[in-house]
Amino acid sequence: MINNDEIFANGVALIYQNDYDGFLELVDNHPTALIQTDDYHRNLFHYACAFQREEIISLLLKDGLDPNKKNSEKQSPFEVYLRACPEFSMEDGSFNPNKIPTINEFVAYGAYVSTMTLNNFDGQQSQNKAFKKDHKIILKILEDVWSDQSLASWRKPKRPNPRPPKFRL
């Protein structure tokens, strides 16, 4: 019998290998893996964001995982994703265009952009010379979202229910 720690470790390995189908099968068979965390309170969503796995991130957002759930380092999956963006740029050092739709998807599912998120992104990413132009594009998106979320009328979008277990006959 496989235990929860092995399931979680297998999930991290599948994310690292960018094995979408294997990951989908894992969460279908073991939906509790989505809410399990490691010693640093990082869940599979944090790992998908750290490794910049856009397809898996989209699946997890649609399945209702919270893009604002903090780990012990006080970082949400959204913040982990933003921090890792320059590390996963194109081979020539330019920005990977797949990042913007994912950032927009995070926002659509209620990712919160705080002043600290803006400052951290601006401070860390502006030091990367190859990322400079694209840094401004993302910073503009974040500033616009932050401005909208600062309004008293803004309400966090409702997330879907987390993935239900797959029933077998």
Q: Does residue 160 lie within any of the structural domains?
A: no
User: Is residue 161 predicted with pLDDT exceeding 70?
Assistant: no
Say if residue 12's pLDDT is above 60. yes
pLDDT of residue 108: 86
- Write out 43-108 in H/E/C secondary structure: CHHHHHHHCCCHHHHHHHHHCCCCCCCCCCCCCCHHHHHHHHHHHHCCCCCCCCCCHHHHHHHHHH
Q: What number is the average pLDDT over the span 142-156?
A: 71
Q: Are 42 and 34 in contact (CB under 8 A)?
A: no
Count: domains in the chain: 1
Asked whether residue 166 is assigned to any structural domain, the reply reads no
- Is residue 156 in a domain? no
**pTM listed for this prediction:** 0.78
21-26 mean pLDDT: 94
The pLDDT of residue 38: 86
- Token pair recorded at residue 62: 């649609």
Q: Which residues, including other chains, have CB under 8 Å from residue 43's CB and lie 6 or more apart?
A: 34, 35, 36, 37, 65, 69, 71, 77
What confidence score (pLDDT) does residue 139 get? 75
The mean predicted confidence, pLDDT, of the chain is 79
Residue 162, in any domain of the structure: no
Residue with the bigger pLDDT between 81 and 148: it is 81
Sequence-ordered alpha helix ranges (H) in 85-168: 99-108, 115-125, 132-149
Both tokens assigned to 80: 């982990």
Q: What is the pLDDT of residue 60?
A: 92
157 is a domain residue: no
User: What pLDDT is attached to residue 104?
Assistant: 87
The sign of the CA dihedral 35, 63, 53, 70 is negative
Cα–Cα distance between 104 and 110 in angstroms, integer?
10
User: Residue 23's domain spans which residues?
Assistant: 4-149
Q: Is residue 164 part of a domain?
A: no
Residue 141: inside a domain? yes
Residue 155 DSSP label: -
Indicate whether 114 belongs to any domain: yes
**Residue 130's pLDDT band (boundaries 50, 70, 90)?**
low
Residue 71 has pLDDT above 60, yes or no: yes
* Span 106-120, pLDDT tens digits: 988 888 887 777 777
CATH code where residue 30 lies: 1.25.40.20
